[in-house]
Structure 1
Amino acid sequence: MMAYIIDFFKYTALVVIGLLPIMNPLTTIPLYMSLTNRMSDEKKRKQAAKACMYAFGILATFLLLGKGIITLFGISMPGIRVAGGIIILILALRMVFSGNDTSSEVDSSASDIKKADMDYSFSPLAMPSLAGPGSIAVVMGFGSQIPDGHMIMGHIHILIGIAIVTCIAFIMLSASKFIEKLLGKHGTQAISKIMGFLLTCIAVQFLASGTRDFYREFAGLAQANPF
């Protein structure tokens, strides 16, 4: 029982450590504050809560339906690992060398979005800011690593990890004014660089495991069809 509890916390923590740097709610704070600066505190919290719920729903959908999508297009699981690793590595290196994660940037300015008079909790806050291509790649990458005999528990671990990260994002968005004053611009960039380094390590692991599985897959095909 104790070993099961330890494994549960271990694998859930791995998902949190892998997803939090790429979601990086710190990069969403400036956009969130600009869009909600004339709202009441209650409405600000509602927008933050809706954005995080949408982000959870987007990532959970790609986790649960991702295998069906890649099967439909004939993509192998090692291919998903390698592709996800490349995407994550590019984003991570941008964070390390620039201090910013450009994957969460949106084309329209905050003033342009305000003029549209729309509910922006889904877009741009949930997607692409919180649940962007990098976050989706991380979730699908973790999903591809689940052993065949542990599919149910593996998905539960990842879903709980996603829920924890989105809760952290909600807390950070709700406390955005305090965090921005506390860290300042340079502090935010420093944390982004640290997160980028952690993400680089995860991307390399995805690439290594995907390359290994590619080798095993092709080696098996070569043995089965020597001519």
Structure 2
Amino acid sequence: MFDYFVSAAITMLVVLDPIGLAPLFLGVTGGLSTEERRKVALRATAIALAILATFGAIGAPLLHALGITLPAFRIAGGLLLFAISFEMVFARRTERAPDEVENSAREHRLHNLAVFPLAIPLMAGPGAITAMMLLAGEARGDPIRLAGLFAITAVVVGLCLAVYLAADRTNRLLGVTGNAILTRLLGVVLTALAVQFVIDGIRGAFFA
């Protein structure tokens, strides 16, 4: 059982990669205030945790019942991620932010940002969902192992939240020019990640 918990902790740390998410969080929340970033971070991590817990509990049978394969999940995640990376590279997100001056419109944007791309697919993406379902399958219905898996997942998501909340300090250090450069560079990285998702999905669908 100890080996299972260690394996689960390492797996979830690797697939969620809290440290690696910090610069991406800065990139996609460009133009937001400190308080708005905090709200987005809290919502994104809560949504991601709920999604991962759900897929850990009923994910495999649900996908099987719907006839959806994991490679299809990877391809869909890659296409969605490509859309947001395009906006980052060409600064579309920060350019349209000042136009949303009404509180209701801005709040709606913050909710959307927390869901996509932060919760899905950056945190609860194809890799994390797949890992969660596989680890839940390895538990073989043992309630102690399943409880441990969910607790480990909650801790790792909590680490992501801590990294998000600390990212604002990095934002202040970078300044306007540094943030503009970082956003575009990360947009390119995110584009490559999106393409890799699609490649992995095609490979899994047709060449597995």
Counterpart CA distance in 2 for 1:6 and 1:32 is 38
Aligned position for 1:28: 29
Aligned position for 2:47: 58
Aligned position for 2:201: 210
Aligned position for 2:114: 130
Tell whether the 8 Å contact from 1:92 to 1:101 is kept in structure 2 after alignment: no
2:75 corresponds to which of 75, 82, 85 = 82
Q: 1:154 to 1:190 in 2, by over 3 A?
A: farther
Q: 1:185 to 1:209 in 2, by over 3 A?
A: same
Q: Post-superposition shift, 1:86? A: 1.4
SS in 1 for 2:33: helix
Counterpart CA distance in 2 for 1:92 and 1:163 is 25
2:125 corresponds to which of 131, 137, 140 = 140
Return the structure number with greater relative CO, CA threshold 8 A, min gap 6. Answer: 2
Give structure 2 stretches of 5+ with no counterpart: 137-145
Counterpart CA distance in 1 for 2:7 and 2:188 is 26
Give aligned pairs, total. Answer: 189
SS in 2 for 1:213: helix
Structure whose CA Rg is larger: 1
Aligned position for 1:220: none
| Matching of residue 163 in structure 1 with residue 158 in structure 2 | yes
TM normalised by structure 1 equals 0.61
| Structure with the higher helix share, 1 or 2 | 2
Counterpart CA distance in 2 for 1:101 and 1:163 is 30
Tell whether the 8 Å contact from 1:81 to 1:207 is kept in structure 2 after alignment: yes
User: Which residue identity lines up with residue 164 of structure 1 in the other structure?
Assistant: L
Tell whether the 8 Å contact from 2:74 to 2:197 is kept in structure 1 after alignment: yes
Which whole-Å deviations, capped at 9, do the CAs of 1:115-150 have from their partners, x for residues lacking one?
Answer: x6xxx5xx543x223332464123131234328652
1:172 corresponds to which of 148, 164, 167 = 167
How many percent of aligned residue pairs carry the same amino acid?
18
Q: Post-superposition shift, 1:82? A: 0.6
User: Which residue identity lines up with residue 210 of structure 1 in the other structure?
Assistant: G
Aligned position for 1:15: 16
Tell whether the 8 Å contact from 2:71 to 2:205 is kept in structure 1 after alignment: yes
1:192 corresponds to which of 164, 183, 187 = 183
Aligned position for 1:225: none
Q: Post-superposition shift, 1:28? A: 2.8
Aligned position for 1:222: none
Q: Post-superposition shift, 1:188? A: 0.6
RMSD over aligned CA atoms reads: 4.0
